[in-house]
């Protein structure tokens, strides 16, 4: 039996634009998704994932080796889709199909924009491989997990899966099927407060919505996306110089452009503006939007209180530097 953990992440700059090849700057957080795997001697795959609201779902490998989910729970199925596709790809990659019991737990709100689906994909693939006695290189792991996201969502950048695999603070630029990733050393401690509200749209739908706008009015949307790319580059410089004021200003501009793309919501905007009003150096939504999470550049208790007063919840998180790791191996 093996337990793997993979971290969540926040995107400091660049969400959505990164789907179009622009860079993103992301930070892995010390909140984790855990997958415990135990090999079986039949061909069944049992997934017990209370935090993903998947408890007791039983999945069987069919004759041809496909993983077949026996049930359909509407919205819940989207979380299951990541687990299911992760197992399929791990089986294909290792060329080994055995039944397995999986238990999945999360310290983060699931589907809130903190990268839980990427962490599920990464931790499931690594747990399956390790439980069967295989080693898997981190580059390969993050490539496979990215494939899971692309297959389930239709379109995805490598940002979340890179962060769940490697941890740290990373400048990520997709180049075709490859990912340029450069670890970034901050010039100062970056205090972040995370606020979240329930999601009203999925990442898949939001990415598709931006894509539709891009196709219908490319001359308007493309400059916004390019501008977000420039903000990310400048944001990286500001982070390396430890210039928190500049980082905050860039976060504010980035949020405005994300709002212009239509991915913010009233509740997200309320949290973002309340945080600034309470003294945050900057604030923006983080992740895909449609509800979910925002970040405020601050360590002030007043900022936390202001976020809570809008009806949001506050999550305290620091930096994760390890990425996906084995927690226990019995």
Contact footprint for ligand MEV (CB under 6 A):
11, 15-16, 18-19, 113, 115, 156-157, 159-160, 203, 207, 287-288
Other CB atoms within 10 A of residue 159 CB: 29
Cβ closest to ligand MEV, residue 16 vs residue 255: 16
> Which sign does the torsion angle of CA 308, 6, 15, 226 carry?
positive
Q: How far is the CB of 203 from ligand MEV (least distance, A)?
A: 5
Catalytic residue among 51, 95, 160, 299: 160
Cβ closest to ligand MEV, residue 10 vs residue 57: 10
Q: Which residue is nearest to ligand MEV (CB)?
A: 157
Q: How far is the CB of 112 from ligand MEV (least distance, A)?
A: 10
From residue 84, how far is each of 44, 46, 191, 280 by CA, in Å? 12, 11, 36, 41
Cβ closest to ligand MEV, residue 37 vs residue 148: 148
Q: How far is the CB of 19 from ligand MEV (least distance, A)?
A: 5
Cβ closest to ligand MEV, residue 115 vs residue 291: 115
From residue 124, how far is each of 9, 102, 295, 296, 328 by CA, in Å? 17, 8, 28, 31, 14
Q: Is 160 marked active-site?
A: yes
Q: How far is the CB of 160 from ligand MEV (least distance, A)?
A: 5
Distance CA 203, CA 210 (A): 11
Angle between helices 244-261 and 218-241 (to 10 degrees): 160
Contact of 115 with 107, CB cutoff 8 Å: no
Cβ closest to ligand MEV, residue 35 vs residue 263: 263
List, as one string, the DSSP characters of 185-199: --SS---EEEEEE--
Q: How far is the CB of 159 from ligand MEV (least distance, A)?
A: 4
Q: Could you say which DSSP state residue 262 is in?
A: T
From residue 66, how far is each of 138, 200, 299 by CA, in Å? 25, 32, 48
Catalytic residues: 160
């Amino acid at each position: 039996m093996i337990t793997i953990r993979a971290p969540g992440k926040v995107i400091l700059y660049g969400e959505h634009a990164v789907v179009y090849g622009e860079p993103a700057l992301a930070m892995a957080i010390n909140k984790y998704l855990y997958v415990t795997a135990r090999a079986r001697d039949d061909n069944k795959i049992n997934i017990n994932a209370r935090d993903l609201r998947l408890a007791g779902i039983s999945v069987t490998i069919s004759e041809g080796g496909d993983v077949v989910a026996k049930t359909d729970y509407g919205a819940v199925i989207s979380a299951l889709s990541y687990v299911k596709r992760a197992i399929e790809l791990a089986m294909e990659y290792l060329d080994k199909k055995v039944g397995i019991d999986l238990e999945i737990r999360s310290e983060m709100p699931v589907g809130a924009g903190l990268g839980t689906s990427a962490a599920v994909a990464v931790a499931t693939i690594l747990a399956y491989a390790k439980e069967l006695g295989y080693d898997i290189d981190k580059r390969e792991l993050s490539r496979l997990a990215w494939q899971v996201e692309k297959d389930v969502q239709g379109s995805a950048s490598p940002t979340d899966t890179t962060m769940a695999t490697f941890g740290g603070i990373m400048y990520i630029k997709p180049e075709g099927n490859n990912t340029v990733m450069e670890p970034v050393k901050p010039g100062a401690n970056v205090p972040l407060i995370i606020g979240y509200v329930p999601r009203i749209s999925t990442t898949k739908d939001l990415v598709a919505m931006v894509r539709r706008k891009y196709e219908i009015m490319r001359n308007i949307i493309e400059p916004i996306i390019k501008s977000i790319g420039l903000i990310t580059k400048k944001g990286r410089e500001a982070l390396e110089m430890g210039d928190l004021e500049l980082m905050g200003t860039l976060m504010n501009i980035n949020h405005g452009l994300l709002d212009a793309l239509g991915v913010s919501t009233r509740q997200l905007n309320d949290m973002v503006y309340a945080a600034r009003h309470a003294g945050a150096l900057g604030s923006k939504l983080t992740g895909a939007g449609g509800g979910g999470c925002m970040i405020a550049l601050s360590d002030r208790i007043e900022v936390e209180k202001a976020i809570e007063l809008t009806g949001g919840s506050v999550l305290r998180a620091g930096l994760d530097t390890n990425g996906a790791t084995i927690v226990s191996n019995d």
